[in-house]
Amino acid sequence: MAKWVYTFGDGKAEGAAEMKALLGGKGANIAEMSNLGLPVPPGFTITTEVCTYFYAHDRQYPAELRDQVSAALDHVGQLAGRRFGDVEDPLLVSVRSGARASMPGMMDTVLNLGLSDLTVQAVAAAGDARFAYDSYRRFITMYSNVVLGLDHHHFEEILQTYKDDNGYSLDTDLGADDWKEIIVAYKKLVETELGKPFPQDPHEQLWGAIGAVFGSWMNARAITYRRLHDIPESWGTAVNVQAMVFGNMGETSATGVAFTRNPSTGDKRLYGEFLVNAQGEDVVAGIRTPQDITEAARLESGSERPSLEVLMPEAYAEFSGICQTLELHYRDMQDVEFTIERGKLWMLQTRAGKRTTKAALKVAVDMCREGLISRDEAILRIDPAGLDQLLHPTIDPSAERTVLAKGLPASPGAASGEIVFNSEDAVAAKQAGRKVILVRIETSPEDIHGMHAAEGILTTRGGMTSHAAVVARGMGKPCVSGAGSIRVDYTAETLTAGGKTLRKGDMVTIDGGSGQVLAGRVPMLQPELSGDFATLMVWADAARRMGVRTNAETPADARAAVQFGAEGIGLSRTEHMFFDEGRIVAVREMILADDEKGRRQALAKLLPMQRADFVELFEIMKGKPVTIRLLDPPLHEFLPKTEEEIAEVAKGLGVHPQKLRERAEELHEFNPMLGFRGCRLAISYPEIAEMQARAIFEAAVEAGKATGEPVVPEVMVPLVAIRQEFDLVKARIDAMAAAVSKEKGVEIKYHVGTMIELPRACLQAADIARTAEFFSFGTNDLTQTTYGLSRDDAAQFLGPYLQRGILEQDPFVTLDQVGVGELVKIAAERGRSVRPDIKLGICGEHGGDPASIRFCETVALDYVSCSPFRVPIARLAAAQAAIEHGKAAVSEA
């Protein structure tokens, strides 16, 4: 018989950590904790297969499910010492969703299930009436919200009015009788809104909650989250039903969340928050400000309220021991949830903790040094894309600051932007090209798209574990949370802080590293790339096989790239040099000249400038390989457009402006995209290629002398389709090398190769490789000509469709997807079949994309080349690719 239900509790479990696919992350880890003998309230997990079955069978459950749930409930009842549905001493349970991958805030938990008008009396009679009615009102609120679909704010309004009428400020001020009155109002509300009374039968409640969890798998929030995080719909969610333990049983009870290390910095210190006499999500909801778990953290934060360490020393000692046990067991930093019921500690959840990149690096390096993980594991633990966070600027310490307010340093990095007060405005501003800081009292899953669009997030409520903080850290965006001294008025769209009132559109800067909120735009500093980052990069460099180069044409880019660890230049475009002010006139003269003589005259003006460009690049790169691509774009891109520009060029050429206009018209008639550009330019006007080749070789000689490091330039012919084209241009380059060599009396070493960026070139690769010494895959054009979309195209044209859910998949084609990667593979194989040592690299935007880099490893390219700021990302991704590829090879053997 199929098994749909797995129990846990009392030091045993039918499941285990590796059963995440079946039990969901939460259920599998609860089972694991139970197996480890940790104090976990007993319960059971209904598997993700039930979810799959449910959707495959018109929302029906498998026939055996009811009996299996009922047997599991009995088992839990035995372990807990009370029976579900009992009117004398009822077992209360929580119903918790839990998918394979954690989906924070996407699906809601129902607590205290099993309470009814009848059972609440039994619980009250057993001792603590306030506790009983507090639990019941929580249950009604949660159940009505999650299962019955009534909005929270209905209930909040009733509670707030009651508090106002009776002069209460905190929930903890209310006693049993107060809650009883509120419960009456709550139930009336449910009946009015739904035309049905609040369900009183515990079994009806339980099945209602289970159905709601499965139902929530297909709610809009969950679907959006899955799309953003590439989680397949087929995975499904599990449901965990677990005996309740109570953090709201008075002053010796508490509930909290913690990280086994600091999730912002990675420091090896227990880090967390708790609330006395509270339940469930109270800590993260920001209703009350939570207290620190450790005394050290309390001293640091200057909080006056006692730490858990001081308040409940025994429970704290056990808890910190368990945190250590979990870290050693999972060999990773954990994010745990716990409850203390009358001094007794219960563990409710553990999972790998989300962390900033800075923390990820520190934890990985520390754990490797502690002997917990290997270097390879340390390398694999870091998300390459996340390194971007470290490359974010921080506020210049010497800059003047007008501090408006201080909140919690919830996610590092600094950002400036105009303030907006809702997600729609954030998205609209972003689309209009403006930078914004999203200011909210607190955020919820509905704000995800606004958070995506914003440069940074500022909230006035909530702690380090609030929704805003957790999500911002995940996104790598700066966030200041819980800036309580700021007053936000959504209606007026203003915020007031430190005696100042700012309106929507006013500029602020937030510093997610210190928690400061500053007026105006503040100067920023580039980050230091030392410490754990440097250590991990050294390990990554040792582990990777592919080289990492950069795409750079300006000295500033080249210098930055070298600092980020670039081992050469994979692509230096020369057209940008031509657009330079002071040169463009000479360029236009060259293009519009009538004959070769005119062109050569103009080119002679350009030669010294072009040579100086290369000398500078070669000197910066100090003998590292530099690939220079000959002029590529359609010539009409350089043409003068305004009357003034035309007049200037006409004067330089000594012709009438009208004649110039006609010549420009003529040039426009060539096919501008694929035809008259790339190597076709050099074939029609060989003198252009000759001038560039001369500049390259003369510069190589000069820079080699200056730095003492011989320069071996790689001259790249663009947009070749067949070998004959390449050969024509190569002949000119070779001749020029010989000429310069003779003039200078030195031997010149160099390589001539081509950019492979047309599907035809990929298919012709064997033939082209007969004369080309290297290929560099220009995957931007290759993607476009394979009818994929570049990353920019995808973002520009299809982003809105993705957001609105019209398209399921990001149409950007990574190399591991069918099409472009296949062409690269074909070209690599064919090229090598003729020239086994042909050097293969990639210089399109894919060279900085981790998924594509993984693909490059599988076809054994020699190097990837990417923009300077992506060089560290590429170094790490290449290392991970090598490790994973090595592992795959071993397991295949």
Residues that bind ligand ADP (CB under 6 A): 41, 94, 96, 109, 111, 242-245, 255, 280-281, 337, 339, 348-349
Which of these is catalytic: 679, 762, 843, 856? 843
Least CB distance from residue 108 to Mg ion, whole Å? 7
CB of 444 or CB of 501, closer to ligand ADP? 444
CB of 29 or CB of 786, closer to Mg ion? 29
CB of 341 or CB of 532, closer to Mg ion? 341
Instruction: Calculate ∠ Cα 676-646-664, nearest 5°.
Output: 25
| Among the residue ranges 225-233, 336-344, 775-783, 872-880, the one whose residues contact Mg ion (CB under 5 A) | 336-344
Q: Select from ligand ADP, Mg ion, none the partner in contact with residue 709, using the beta carbon and a kind-dependent cut-off of 5 to 8 Å.
A: none
Question: Is 467 among the residues known to form the active site?
Answer: yes
339 forms part of the interface with Mg ion (CB under 5 A): no
Q: Select from ligand ADP, Mg ion, none the partner in contact with residue 824, using the beta carbon and a kind-dependent cut-off of 5 to 8 Å.
A: none
CB of 243 or CB of 626, closer to ligand ADP? 243
Q: Select from Mg ion, ligand ADP, none the partner in contact with residue 208, using the beta carbon and a kind-dependent cut-off of 5 to 8 Å.
A: none
Specify the amino acid at residue 348: L
Q: Select from Mg ion, ligand ADP, none the partner in contact with residue 119, using the beta carbon and a kind-dependent cut-off of 5 to 8 Å.
A: none
Specify the amino acid at residue 581: E
Helices (H), 499-583: 531-543, 555-563, 575-579
443 forms part of the interface with Mg ion (CB under 5 A): no
Q: Select from ligand ADP, Mg ion, none the partner in contact with residue 242, using the beta carbon and a kind-dependent cut-off of 5 to 8 Å.
A: ligand ADP
Contact by Cβ (8 Å): 36, 329: yes
Q: Select from ligand ADP, Mg ion, none the partner in contact with residue 35, using the beta carbon and a kind-dependent cut-off of 5 to 8 Å.
A: none
Cα distances from 766 to residues 773, 835, 864, in angstroms, run 12, 8, 21
In 3-state terms, what secondary structure has residue 208?
Answer: helix
Give burial (CB, 10 Å; 0-12/13-18/19+) of 340: buried
Least CB distance from residue 349 to ligand ADP, whole Å? 5
**Could you count the other beta carbons within 10 Å of the beta carbon of residue 654?**
8
CB of 97 or CB of 294, closer to Mg ion? 97
Q: Select from ligand ADP, Mg ion, none the partner in contact with residue 265, using the beta carbon and a kind-dependent cut-off of 5 to 8 Å.
A: none
349 forms part of the interface with Mg ion (CB under 5 A): yes
Which of these is catalytic: 467, 479, 846, 866? 467
**Could you count the other beta carbons within 10 Å of the beta carbon of residue 343?**
12
Contact by Cβ (8 Å): 788, 813: yes
Least CB distance from residue 223 to ligand ADP, whole Å? 18
Q: Select from Mg ion, ligand ADP, none the partner in contact with residue 294, using the beta carbon and a kind-dependent cut-off of 5 to 8 Å.
A: none
Enumerate residues 6+ apart whose C-beta is below 8 A from 213. Answer: 95, 96, 97, 107, 237, 239
| Among the residue ranges 302-310, 330-338, 500-508, 604-612, the one whose residues contact Mg ion (CB under 5 A) | 330-338
CB of 445 or CB of 570, closer to Mg ion? 445
Order of strands, edge to edge, in the sheet holding 500-503? 487-489, 494-497, 500-503
Question: 468: closest CA among 448, 489, 498?
Answer: 448
CA atoms of 533 and 520, how far apart (whole Å): 31
Least CB distance from residue 262 to ligand ADP, whole Å? 20
**Could you count the other beta carbons within 10 Å of the beta carbon of residue 256?**
26
Enumerate residues 6+ apart whose C-beta is below 8 A from 609. Answer: 577, 580, 583
CB of 31 or CB of 517, closer to ligand ADP? 31
Cα distances from 761 to residues 337, 717, 781, in angstroms, run 57, 12, 12
Enumerate residues 6+ apart whose C-beta is below 8 A from 660. Answer: 592, 640, 646, 649, 650, 653
CB of 242 or CB of 783, closer to ligand ADP? 242
Cα distances from 271 to residues 144, 153, 458, 464, in angstroms, run 34, 32, 22, 10
Residues 594-653 that bind Mg ion (CB under 5 A): none
Least CB distance from residue 108 to ligand ADP, whole Å? 7
CB of 282 or CB of 690, closer to ligand ADP? 282
94 forms part of the interface with Mg ion (CB under 5 A): no
240 forms part of the interface with Mg ion (CB under 5 A): no
Provide the Cα torsion 293, 295, 299, 301; round to 10°: -10
CB of 254 or CB of 451, closer to ligand ADP? 254
Least CB distance from residue 839 to Mg ion, whole Å? 51
CA atoms of 339 and 278, how far apart (whole Å): 9
Contact by Cβ (8 Å): 180, 133: yes
Give burial (CB, 10 Å; 0-12/13-18/19+) of 185: middle
Q: Select from ligand ADP, Mg ion, none the partner in contact with residue 309, using the beta carbon and a kind-dependent cut-off of 5 to 8 Å.
A: none
216 forms part of the interface with Mg ion (CB under 5 A): no
CB of 93 or CB of 429, closer to ligand ADP? 93
Question: 355: closest CA among 374, 330, 335?
Answer: 335
Least CB distance from residue 385 to ligand ADP, whole Å? 25
Q: Select from Mg ion, ligand ADP, none the partner in contact with residue 574, using the beta carbon and a kind-dependent cut-off of 5 to 8 Å.
A: none
Give the bridge partners for 501, in sequence order.
496
| Among the residue ranges 83-91, 331-339, 562-570, 872-880, the one whose residues contact Mg ion (CB under 5 A) | 331-339
411 forms part of the interface with Mg ion (CB under 5 A): no
The beta-strand segments (E) located in 14-133 are 43-46, 83-84, 90-91, 93-99, 110-113
DSSP line for 405-455: EE-EEEE-SEEEEEEESSHHHHHHHHHTT--EEEEESS--GGGHHHHHHSS
Question: Is 203 among the residues known to form the active site?
Answer: no
Least CB distance from residue 292 to ligand ADP, whole Å? 18
Least CB distance from residue 347 to Mg ion, whole Å? 11
Q: Select from Mg ion, ligand ADP, none the partner in contact with residue 379, using the beta carbon and a kind-dependent cut-off of 5 to 8 Å.
A: none
Least CB distance from residue 105 to ligand ADP, whole Å? 6
Least CB distance from residue 316 to ligand ADP, whole Å? 17
Question: 755: closest CA among 733, 771, 777?
Answer: 777
Tokens coding 708: 């003492």
Q: Are strands 334-341 and 344-352 parallel, antiparallel or unpaired?
A: antiparallel
- What positions carry a catalytic annotation? 467, 843
Residues near Mg ion (CB under 5 A): 337, 349
